[in-house]
Amino acid sequence: MSLRTVKAVPFLLQQQSRYFLQNTFGNFQHAQMSSNTTYTSTPNTSTAKKNKELQQFNDSTQKEIDHHARLSATWWDLNGPLHGLHKLNDLRVPFVSHGLRAQSTVDKNFRNTIDMNLISTAPLLKGKNILEVGCGGGILTEALARLNANVTGVDLGADVIMTAEKHLKKYSPELVERITYKTESIAQHADEYANHYDAVVCSEVLEHIDEKEAFLKDCVRAIKPGGSIFITTLNKTVLQWFIGIILGEYVFGVAPKNTHHWSKLIAPQDVQRILAALNCETVSLNGLTYNVFYRRWRWINTTKLCYALHAVKAA
Partner 1 sequence: MSALIKPPGTRNLRLLFKQLHAVRAICVSSKCYADDHAQKPKSTAEHYDIIIGGGGLVGTALAVALGKNKVLNDKRILLLEGAPPFKGFNIEAQYGNRVSAINNNSVELFQSIGAWDYMEERRVKHVKQMQVWDACSDALIKFQDEHFAADVACIIENDLMLDALYAQLADNTNAQNVEVRNNARIEGVQLSVDTGDKYSQVHLKDGKTLTCELLIGADGANSLVRKQMNIDVFSLEYQRRGVVATVQLEDACDNTVAWQRFLPTGPVALLPLSDTLSSVVWSTTIPHAKHLLELSDADFTKALNEAFFKEYPKNGVVVNAMNTLNSIIGRNPDMLRQYPPAVNGVIEKSRASFPLGFLHASSYVCTGAALIGDAAHRVHPLAGQGVNLGFSDVRELVKVLSEAAYAGAKLGDNHYLIKYEQRSLSKNVPIMVGVHGLHTLYSTTFTPVVLLRSLGLQLTDTISPIKNLFMKRAIG
CA distance 164 to 155: 10
CB of 273 to partner 1, least distance (A): 31
177 known member of a binding site: no
Q: Closer to partner 1 at the Cβ: 139 or 309?
A: 139
Q: Which residues ranging from 106 to 165 are in contact with partner 1 (CB under 8 A)?
A: 120-124, 142-147
Q: Are 283 and 260 in contact (CB under 8 A)?
A: no
What's the min distance (Å) between Cβ of 266 and partner 1? 26
Q: Which is nearer to partner 1, 70 or 86 (CB)?
A: 86
Instruction: Lay out the site mask for partner 1 across 20-59 (x = CB under 8 A, - = otherwise).
Output: x--xx-xx-xx-----------------------------
* Secondary element (H or E) of residue 158: helix 158-171
DSSP strand pairing (197-203 vs 129-133): parallel
How far apart, in Å, are the Cα atoms of 53 and each of 31, 46, 49, 57, 115?
Answer: 33, 11, 6, 10, 46
Residue choice 57, 66, 77, 241 for contact with partner 1 (CB under 8 A): 77
* Closest by CA position to 197, among listed 233, 160, 134, 153: 153
CB count in 10 Å sphere of residue 188: 14
Map the footprint of partner 1 across residues 286-315, applying CB under 8 A.
293-295
- Which residues contribute to the site for partner 1 (CB under 8 A)? 13, 16-17, 20, 23-24, 26-27, 29-30, 74, 76-80, 86-87, 89-90, 93-94, 97, 120-124, 142-147, 170-173, 293-295
